[in-house]
Structure 1
Amino acid sequence: MAYKVAVVGATGAVGREILKTLSERRFPVREAVALASGRSAGAEVSFGEDAVLKVRDLDRYDFSGTDLALFSPGAAVSAVHAPRAAAAGCLVIDNTSQFRMEPGVPLVVPEVNPQAIAKRPKKGIIANPNCSTIQMVVALKPLHEIAKVKRVVVATYQSVSGAGKEAMDELWSQTRGVFVNDPATPEQFTKPIAFNVIPHIDRFMDDGATKEEWKMAVETRKILDPDIQVIATCVRVPVMIGHAEAVHVEFEKPITERQAREALRTAAGVTLLDTRDDGGYATPLEIAGEDAVYVSRLRKDPTVPNGLAFWCVADNLRKGAALNAVQIAEELHRKGLIGPQAS
């Protein structure tokens, strides 16, 4: 069976990547619809190598008859239009933060908790987790099955593409400005991002954590295990695509490096690249465009009982967003949960 599929936010970096991924993975699309704000209506976006879609106005679009919608337009837009789509019988996969922690909305990483979508959700919405959470839980899942994760301390190094196209443009223009002595005023970030790192992603909360850091903690518990304690420090770095994380894990019982390596080597969605040689590790530059979560620098953490440390890297536009959403769609397709017959 093939479906009528809408991509909301189709002109953005993630929306374009969703269209590309749907085509690359040959998801059964009968008809593809590109949706965005009224100011983008009439623009064209690619769908596969040959097809070009004319962008339609989201505000005017009737979701009746659309089987599946993949949303990535920003939380405020999803808050309005995702429930509208679901009410029309369209199953929604939302990539924003709007519904992730809402009761009754599954938060899914297919390699980690596919059981969360054993049936079609009553609200008609499935949430895609935060990009940094996705890559971390993919790496943690096979280790958690061996020794049960107790506590995670993580520092992220997040590329500017996580903040959208305008943020990527700002890094480009500021980098150029440094070389031509034309400094630019920050607009997308609180401080200059070129040749800098900024320990601030999303808004600050009352306890001093940022919303991004809070997301990593609560989402990890919802996806993997409600008892896991997480403290994160999320940092924006002058990289175009690809998030990296330094992860320190304390387990409830002993786990050896050898056990961890074997588990990661065979885990779905993980590539272990760790030779302990110069260059024997993954970096954002080389994994852009790749689907896997790359794990490197695996070693014992002697500062806590049953501790391990590792480095993980993933393309935030693919596994951190578009690919994970399409994998959710594939899981729904396999389980026969898309379309009016599944309502």
Structure 2
Amino acid sequence: MGYKVAVVGATGAVGREMLRILAERDFPASEVIPLASARSAGREVSFGDKKVLKVQNLETFDFKGCDLGLFSPGASVSKIYAPKAAAARCVVVDNTSYFRMEPGIPLVVPEVNGAAVEKAHRGIIANPNCSTAQLVLALKPLHDLYGIKRVVVSTYQAVSGAGKDAMDELFNQTKGSFVHDAPLVEQFTKQIAFNVIPHIDRFMEDGSTKEEWKMAVETRKILDPDIKVLATCVRVPVFIGHSEAVSVECARPVSVEAAREALRNAPGVVVQDKHEDGGYVTPLECVGEDPTYISRLRRDPTVENGLAFWCVSDNLRKGAALNAVQIAEELVARQLLGAGSSLWKPRERALEPE
């Protein structure tokens, strides 16, 4: 059976990656429709190696007859159009932040809590923040083994997490430094080239940033509400690939070797951990790759039952587009897409736009 799929935000970095991954993974689509704002309507985007699709106007598009909507247009746009799509019985997988903490809307990383898609009776499933997605992949096998009580994580996040304009700013500042051009700062609060910025998203009352708050609340929603999380999120001059230095405190005594084996057996995780020069994975090496890579696994001697590790992942893939497509594959496997899907039956009233 083929499904009619709409990709919303198709001209953005994540939208283009969604189209690429749908083709790469041979998703069972009978039709793929790229959607974007009116100013992008009529542009062409690639779908696979040989096919070119023409972008349609989201504002005038009728979702009736669509089985699946993969959304990455920005939170303010998803707020309006995701409920409209769901009202037309198009299951939405939304990559923005808008619905992530909404009651009754599952927040899903398929390898961690794939069964949660069964609860998507409002017709919307949220994709987590890119830094959260790779973190919970690494935490899940350790939590199953030892019971994680507390997580301290410092992130090193690529500029692509802030979009194409942010990537252009890093490129232009880097190029300009060699010809003594004054850096133009528009996308970040300070120069990003040859610098690191400990500030992602807006500041909150307690001194943390919204990005740090997201990592904490999303980890608890996906994995366990009792886990305590302290995050420090930093933007670094890397184009693609988020890195994280993680320390966990567990409820039970830990073994580094048992933890390594559990991570090796976990879906979506690859362990590359040799205690030698180059025996670890850097963000440059994870670009275009699907897994989250774990390195530098070792005991944390500062807390009882502590482990520390380094993890990297392609934030445009597992952190966004790939995870969304994997959620769609989970829906297909559970027969939750298409006419007659049981997804809609428990709460028919939830189909009305909010």
Matches of 1:93 and 1:42, distance apart in 2 = 24
- Deviation at residue 236 of structure 1 after TM alignment: 0.2
> Counterparts in 2 of 1:229-244, with a 5 A limit?
229-244=228-243
- Deviation at residue 97 of structure 1 after TM alignment: 0.2
Q: What is the match of residue 258 of structure 2? A: 259
Q: What is the match of residue 210 of structure 2? A: 211
Matches of 1:341 and 1:255, distance apart in 2 = 47
SS of residue paired to 1:298: strand
- Deviation at residue 118 of structure 1 after TM alignment: 2.6
**C-alpha distance after superposition, 1:86-138 (max 9, x if no partner):** 0111100000000000000000000100121235x221000000000000000
Q: What is the match of residue 133 of structure 2? A: 134
Q: What is the match of residue 282 of structure 2? A: 283
**C-alpha distance after superposition, 1:161-217 (max 9, x if no partner):** 000000000000000011110022210000000000000000001100000000000
Q: What is the match of residue 42 of structure 2? A: 42
Matches of 1:276 and 1:183, distance apart in 2 = 42
Q: What is the match of residue 338 of structure 2? A: 339
Matches of 2:268 and 2:260, distance apart in 1 = 14
Matches of 1:284 and 1:72, distance apart in 2 = 23
- Deviation at residue 340 of structure 1 after TM alignment: 1.9
Matches of 2:339 and 2:80, distance apart in 1 = 22
Runs of 4+ in 1 over 4 A off after TM superposition: none
> Counterparts in 2 of 1:151-166, with a 5 A limit?
151-166=150-165
Matches of 1:322 and 1:282, distance apart in 2 = 21
In structure 1, give the amino acid aligned to 2:58.
L
**C-alpha distance after superposition, 1:273-311 (max 9, x if no partner):** 001110000000011000000000000000000000000
Alignment partner of 1:118 is 2:111: no
Matches of 1:185 and 1:133, distance apart in 2 = 30
Q: What is the match of residue 3 of structure 1? A: 3
In structure 2, give the amino acid aligned to 1:84.
K
> Counterparts in 2 of 1:33-182, with a 5 A limit?
33-119=33-119, 121-182=120-181
SS of residue paired to 1:126: strand
In structure 1, give the amino acid aligned to 2:216.
A
In structure 1, give the amino acid aligned to 2:211.
E
Alignment partner of 1:227 is 2:226: yes
Aligned length: 342
**C-alpha distance after superposition, 1:37-73 (max 9, x if no partner):** 0000010000011111100110010000011000000
SS of residue paired to 1:198: coil
SS of residue paired to 1:264: helix
Stretches of structure 2 lacking an aligned partner (at least 5 in a row): 345-354
Matches of 1:106 and 1:93, distance apart in 2 = 10
In structure 2, give the amino acid aligned to 1:22.
L
In structure 2, give the amino acid aligned to 1:334.
A
TM-score (norm 2): 0.96
Q: What is the match of residue 304 of structure 2? A: 305
SS of residue paired to 1:112: helix
Q: What is the match of residue 198 of structure 1? A: 197
Matches of 2:95 and 2:338, distance apart in 1 = 20
Matches of 2:66 and 2:114, distance apart in 1 = 24
SS of residue paired to 1:42: coil
Q: CA RMSD in A?
A: 0.6
In structure 2, give the amino acid aligned to 1:20.
R
Stretches of structure 1 lacking an aligned partner (at least 5 in a row): none
Q: What is the match of residue 351 of structure 2? A: none
